[in-house]
Amino acid sequence: MTDHQVKFGWLSPVAGHAGSDFQPIVQYQETHILPHALPYFDSVWIADHFYGFDADKREGFLEGWTTLTWLAAKFPDVMLCHHVLGHGYRNPALTAKMAATLQVLSGERFMLGIGGGWREDEYHSYGYEFPSAATRLRQLEEVVQICRLMWTEEHPTFEGSYFSIDDAAATPRPAVVPPVCIGSSGEQIGLPIVGRQADIWNTSYRSDDDWNRKRIIVDSAATAAGRKPTDVESCVTVAGDLPTTDAESKAWVERLLHLVDLGVTYLVRDFGHPLHHEPAVRFAEQVIAPIRSSRS
């Protein structure tokens, strides 16, 4: 266990599908769900893709930065994070500048959620290069380094193997440096980068053995970099429907407490497309509250 308090994030889908008449679900949630749900959650998360996953591309899919900025204005009391940015979609210095701006304008509520990117067809469709996974991950480490330099230095300069900046000022610089959440599960390159660079590690849960093995890699890399393993918070994304009965709530408590017992302190929930806010309030009262009280 770590000393971090258990936190909950709401992943709001920017995608649409047949069940939402192909309109982005976040637009429905912004009106009908989030005003009731987000007071109980610590953060709201938005994915970063350009179009949906249906072959004929009928699904609406909103751009991630724009959508998160819109939500930042609508809901001024939660943290904001992407789940997660594909770093290759934007120049590193531009990413740093956009992050600094949103951190300033949101009142220091932004977390940079970022990863190596994976969707090859989307890269090619929009005219981006799609290097190997190893290259994308090594690039990711330089992106994070550039961001932190631009957030903290007056005259940031960097010369890496893949990217460079030359006096790339990002004023006004944020008074609070945004935490960096890296989404990765690759054991050879990705997880060591998490240990060296991340404040938060976002991944999925498959089994206890899988989790423990990967967390050991993160911890070892953190230690080798002169950091404490507890400097890297564990964050897991869990999908599933909101509870509609006491029994379903109890099952969620048991499932999520198991993750907390493994050391997970940030639980990001993807509830799909709930049509009513009552199950969200039930989740808050019957799942979030008892988990927090049991680990306070």
The pLDDT value recorded for residue 12 is 98
Whole-model pTM?
0.96
The pLDDT value recorded for residue 56 is 84
Instruction: For 20-75, write each residue's pLDDT tens digit.
Output: 999 999 999 999 999 999 999 999 999 999 999 988 888 999 999 999 999 999 99
Instruction: For 245-267, write each residue's pLDDT tens digit.
Output: 999 999 999 999 999 999 999 99
Give Cα 180 to chain centroid, integer Å: 9
The pLDDT value recorded for residue 8 is 98
SS3 of residue 25 by DSSP: helix
Distance CA 37, CA 75 (A): 11
Q: What would the mean pLDDT of 81-103 be, rounded to a whole number?
A: 98
Q: Are 221 and 195 in contact (CB under 8 A)?
A: yes
Report long-range pairs for 149-158 (Cβ below 8 Å, ≥24 apart): 149/96, 150/93, 150/96, 150/97, 150/100, 151/96, 151/99, 151/100, 151/103, 151/177, 151/178, 152/177
Q: How confident is the model at residue 143 (pLDDT cuts 50, 70, 90)?
A: very high
Q: Are 236 and 207 in contact (CB under 8 A)?
A: no
Q: What would the mean pLDDT of 76-98 be, rounded to a whole number?
A: 98
Does 2 have pLDDT greater than 70?
Answer: no
Q: How confident is the model at residue 293 (pLDDT cuts 50, 70, 90)?
A: very high
- Strands of the chain, DSSP E: 7-11, 43-46, 79-82, 85-86, 110-115, 157-159, 164-166, 180-183, 200-203, 233-239, 266-270
The pLDDT value recorded for residue 3 is 57
The pLDDT value recorded for residue 1 is 37
